Each structure stands twice: as C-alpha cells, then as structure tokens.
Amino acid sequence: MPFITIAGQQLHYQTRGNGFPVLLGHSFLWDSAMWQPQIEALSQSYQVIAPDLWGHGRSGRMPENTRNFGDLAAQASELLNALGIEQCAMIGLSLGGMWGSELALREPKRVKALVIMDSDRGAEPAATLAQYLQMVDTIESLGQIPAPMIDAIAPLYFRRGAPLDSELIVSYKRALASFSADQLRQSIVPLGRLFMKRADEVAKLSALDAATTLIMCGELDIPRPPAETIRMAETIGCKHVLVPEAGHISCLENPSFVNRELLGWLDKHVGANA
C-alpha cells in the first residue's frame, strides 16, 4: 500500500479502481478501513482514494504546522497533486467531513461533488467540549486510552441501543486499545483539540454549490445529531438524507443504504453520464 511524504511525514493511503476519482476522509479515532464497504462498492465504477489521517492507521505523526481544517485540506490537496488528480468527488465523515468541506470551499473547481456525513461545522456544544477535552488531557497524561474511557467512547460511534457485545463494537474497542503512546501524544491528542475547539463556521458553507452538495447523517447519531445536519443543509440549500438504523459511523452500520445513496449521487454528478 502506498505512502506519500507531506511536510516531512509519511501519509498512508489506499487506492482502488478506475474512473473519476473519489477521495474519502474518515472519522477521528478510525482509519481508512472504516470505508471498506464503500471502497468495495464505489471502486467498481470509480477510482477511490482513502488516506489514513495522521497518527491513524499506518500514517506517520501529524506535521507540527497542522493547526486547522485548512491545513488538513491543504495536505489532502498535496496528495491529489502527487496523484495527478485535477478534479475529484469528496466524501468525508465526521472529522473527514470537516476538512473535506474546507477543501471544497477552498478549491471549488477541484471538488466537483461533495458529501458530508455525520459531521458539523458548528462549534462543539459547551458540555460535550468540556467532556472531550478532559478525555484528551487524560489520554495525553497516561499515553493510552484507559479501559473505562474506551467503554465510554466506543458506544458514541454507534446507534443508540446498539448491543455492546456486537463484533463491530468489540473490535472497535480493541482498536482503541492498540494506539501507541506516540500516536496518541503526537497526533491523536492535537488532532482532537484541533477539531473539538473549532469555531462555528456553518455560515461559510453557504458558499458551497447546493446542487452538488449532499449531507448525510445516521438517524441515531449521538455526537452529531440530525439537527446539525439539517442546519447545515438549510444554510447551503442542499439535499440531506438520514441513514436509518445507523449512528455516527453510518457507513458501517447501514452500508447497503449508504452505498446506494453514494453511488446514485456520484453517478448523477460525476459519472460517465453526468
């Protein structure tokens, strides 16, 4: 699997298929494997590029000059440049939707179609901000995600009422426990603070092209509830879709529904007959 050097650090990415390029941005505390059902489905008709965010998967540490969504978007742009990709579709979930929407705002001619999933460009509510910042402070201090915190974090990524003994949740808990102290301190903690302390920038999304922007959200998403999706969609004037029986990682909890929506959207806006 290929790597590219950006700002002196090794960024790992997957690429699969041929056709119009589709860039995927994954959630915080996940990696590009989160997109496996979509990579399998979309790569039948499109070239799919799925990078691992800094400190996640097989990517190296976050470059020291990475301070905001614009920096993350610029790094994604460097990846596209290195691959010779002038235009692409962007699909980002959670943190991936935050920097992905920034990429679309900064390079509207490059991003021909945009899908923002289970994400928000509004400020983190005060109550959850305090809770999340306390978590990253603890992680930084310990150099690990302690077991009680893993038990608290994991359910946030899945639909309300999801069985805690499901293979999806159990395997995710194992993944959280596997982060090294260096990954956590050099990348996960600073990335967490970067997006947790974000300003309310929903208003700037009005500059996006409503006709080529789609917003999706699991109808049972806990950290990014549908009300946030609806607010962004109303600001942009674009279509929004709620994913049934899915929480924050909607692409894994209801992949068949998500794949149908994404393929229909891509075929309409960037496919051979678009």
The domain that holds 85 is classified in CATH as: 3.40.50.1820
Domain presence at residue 143? no
**Alpha helix (H) residue ranges in 83-146:** 95-106, 126-142
Dihedrals phi, psi of 26, to nearest 5 degrees:
-90, 175
In this structure, are residues 223 and 249 in contact, taking their beta carbons and an 8 Å threshold? no
Tens of pLDDT along 164-213? 999 999 999 999 999 999 999 999 999 999 999 999 999 999 999 999 99
Residue in 38, 34, 54, 36 with CA at minimum distance from that of residue 158: 34
For the chain, the domain total comes to: 1
- Whether residue 139 is contained in a domain is answered as no
Region of 155 on the Ramachandran plot (φ > 0 left; ψ -120 to 50 alpha; else beta): alpha
pLDDT one-digit tens code per residue, 83-117: 999 999 999 999 999 999 999 999 999 999 999 99
Residue 18, both tokens? 């041929």
User: Is beta strand 213-218 parallel, antiparallel or unpaired with respect to 111-117?
Assistant: parallel
Determine if the pTM surpasses 0.85. Answer: yes
Stretch among 145-154, 186-195, 251-260, 264-273 having the lowest mean pLDDT: 264-273
Residue type, 53: L
For residue 62, give the DSSP letter.
Answer: P
Residue 217 within a domain:
yes
Q: How far is CA 28 from the centre of its chain?
A: 7
Domain of residue 213, residue span = 3-124+200-269
H or E segment and range at residue 168 = helix 167-177
Does residue 29 sit in helix, strand or coil? Answer: coil
Is residue 21 included in any domain, yes or no? yes
Q: Which residues contact 109 (CB under 8 A, 6 or more apart)?
A: 87
